[in-house]
Amino acid sequence: MYQKNVLDNGLRVLTTSMPHTRSVGVAILTGVGSRYEGERERGISHFIEHMMFKGTPRRPTAQHIAEAIEGLGGVINASTDSEVTTYWAKVAHHHLPFALDVLVDMFRNSKFDPQEIDKEREVIIQEICRMMDMPESWVHSLIGELLWPNHPVGWDTAGTRESVTGITRQDILDYIDRGYLPRNTVISLAGNLDADRVTEQINQALGSWKSAPAPEFIAAADPAPGPSWRIEFRETEQTHLCLAVRGLPANHPERFTLRILNVLLGEGMSSRLFLEIREKRGLAYSVGSYTSSLRDTGAMVLYAGVPPQKAGDVVTAMLEQLDLLKAKEAPAAEVTKAKEFTKGRILLRMEDTFANAAWFGQQEVLDQPVLTVDQVVQHLDAVTAADIQQMAQRLFSRGALNLAIIGPFKDELAFADRLQL
């Protein structure tokens, strides 16, 4: 269980005691990401995440910040997604006060030196170019654009070369002023810690941080009627494709059913997609599925990397598996296996202190009811084969399909017949 304290300015502090551990994970989560950006500032959330590591008045350079944590044998990192930016560290438990001081110093006192901004701008542009040169990664950006066309939810988190080039220091400061706010931020800690002591340290460091209303985002529009597809021509040896439908929001009551459905369909080497497409037919080396969920929308994505001449067969095989889930309840043994797979992966992950901090912090910053692992396990156990079939029937209609392909195909209609249009 976790303990929650809310400071006077609205900053939420979550502490999870794990006295048997020798480490502590600390996460500062702020509830802004790429979906809060305007067209001109695409990528600014990710840009800010990079710049937070470039120096403060007390720790003037990136080297000072890195050595502060790595010199203790700890780990420090960050991530940006559509709705949350997370800064985190994991250290031996007796180093917690120092690690927390480093994270707070970065989070509140970064200098955003103009020269460092210009250097990091080039680094991020190279990151974007690298991703574009990796079709197995870029195809996931393409499917996002199909699922949410002309909307920030569908934009790549890193932005574009043009948008990153145009971001100024003042843009960064303005974005932080409107997005990095105490009422929009959660500090979550887990491990061998004293909850009262760490909460007091946070209060002393951030209690005077001025509050303001949290920013709002543009709601995701309803999907356009009919299927959509996009083919990006490249002379590649392997074709990369994503077949996707809109999914469920993060707090949807049936999200546990979707989670089991995804495991059954495409997560792991005993999933239907893996067994049918790789093991039985030998059509692909890499194949699987995943889900994503946001405050008001979500997605379910099937992915495969295949020889170009077999891409059409893989699309057909994927559709056959979706149709099978719609037409027939999964056998009880298969449903049980999917549940145990899901529960086991959660339980194994939760032995880590940072995973615990992120588990509670992520739910809290997105204003979800914060569920413990045991509560989630109960929800997963309650999923039935009939629930899974009904979910498949709800999501996998032909008119809801979106197909993104990167490979040596010049005909935009090359896969229209495979989608049964």
What is Dmax (Cα atoms) for the chain? Answer: 64
Residue 380 contacts residue 274 (beta carbons within 8 Å): no
Q: 11 Cβ partners below 8 Å, 6+ apart?
A: 182, 183, 185, 186, 187, 202, 206, 207, 209
Rg of the chain's alpha carbons, rounded to an integer?
23
Residue 10 contacts residue 183 (beta carbons within 8 Å): yes
Look up residue 245 and give its two tokens.
């439908």
Q: How many residues does the chain have?
A: 421
Q: Choose, from 49, 120, 145, 364, the residue flagged as catalytic.
A: 49
- Amino acid identity of residue 366, one-letter, is L
Residue 335 contacts residue 388 (beta carbons within 8 Å): yes
Distances (CA, A) of 62 to 1, 52, 53, 117: 36, 9, 6, 12
Is 340 annotated as catalytic?
Answer: no
294 by Cβ neighbours in 10 Å (0-12 / 13-18 / 19+) ranks as: buried
How many other C-beta atoms can be found within 10 angstroms of the C-beta atom of residue 393?
12
Residues 205, 224: Cα–Cα separation, whole Å: 48
Residue 56 contacts residue 110 (beta carbons within 8 Å): yes
Q: 268 Cβ partners below 8 Å, 6+ apart?
A: 274, 288, 341
Nearest one of 314, 312, 284, 288 to 300, comparing CA atoms: 288
Q: Is 110 left (phi over 0), alpha (psi -120 to 50) or beta?
A: beta
Residues 270, 248: Cα–Cα separation, whole Å: 24
Active-site residues, by number, are 49
